[in-house]
Amino acid sequence: MTFTLSDLEAIVARRAVSGDKSSYTAKLAGKGIAKTAKKLGEEAVETVIAAISEDDAALVGESADLLYHLMVVLHLRQVPLADVLAELQRRTAETGLEEKARRPQDV
Ligand SMILES: N=c1c2ncn([C@@H]3O[C@H](COP(=O)(O)OP(=O)(O)OP(=O)(O)O)[C@@H](O)[C@H]3O)c2ncn1[C@@H]1O[C@H](COP(=O)(O)O)[C@@H](O)[C@H]1O
């Protein structure tokens, strides 16, 4: 069976409130949204570095770290993954450049 981000969302939700001393998710969630969002930023930078100068295995690993930390941030903000997917689906109605052209012009 294919593993999905929805599966990861459920794992994160369960582990964040587990109180399990061996859980990284519980430890991270306990630090709050500011620390967790900062960690997400660090993982984003590591993913950028992997994309530019490391091999595919490194990029896969950093991408997994990035998506996992994003799921913890969404959990802490109580934003369902479904909301993000719905936004992505809404965006399929037009190209990225069409959407950009509709934005109000800077004055
Ligand atoms: N996908 C992940 C996942 N990806 C990355 N990580 C952890 O993210 C941490 C990031 O490592 P770093 O070296 O960047 O940071 P660190 O120095 O350990 O942490 P800081 O002190 O900087 O906060 C590591 O401890 C990784 O194990 C993850 N931890 C958990 N999961 C998933 O969550 C499930 C539950 O995990 P626990 O909550 O730990 O039981 C796991 O079975 C996985 O499915």
pLDDT in tens, 23-39: 999 999 999 999 999 99
The pLDDT, as a whole number, for residue 100 is: 85
The pLDDT, as a whole number, for residue 107 is: 63
Q: How far is the CA of 86 from the centre of ligand 1 (A)?
A: 27
Record the pTM: 0.92
Q: How far is the CA of 91 from the centre of ligand 1 (A)?
A: 31
Instruction: Give the closest residue to 65 by CA, choosing from 8, 6, 7, 1.
Output: 8
Q: Which domains does the chain have, with CATH numbers?
A: 5-102 (1.10.287.1080)
The complex scores an ipTM of: 0.91
Per-chain mean pLDDT for the chain: 96
**Contact in structure between 47 and 63 (CB atoms under 8 Å):** yes
Q: How confident is the model at residue 98 (pLDDT cuts 50, 70, 90)?
A: confident
Instruction: Give the closest residue to 9 by CA, choosing from 78, 61, 59.
Output: 78
Pocket around ligand 1: residues whose beta carbon is below 6 Å from it? 11, 15, 23-26, 39, 64-65, 68
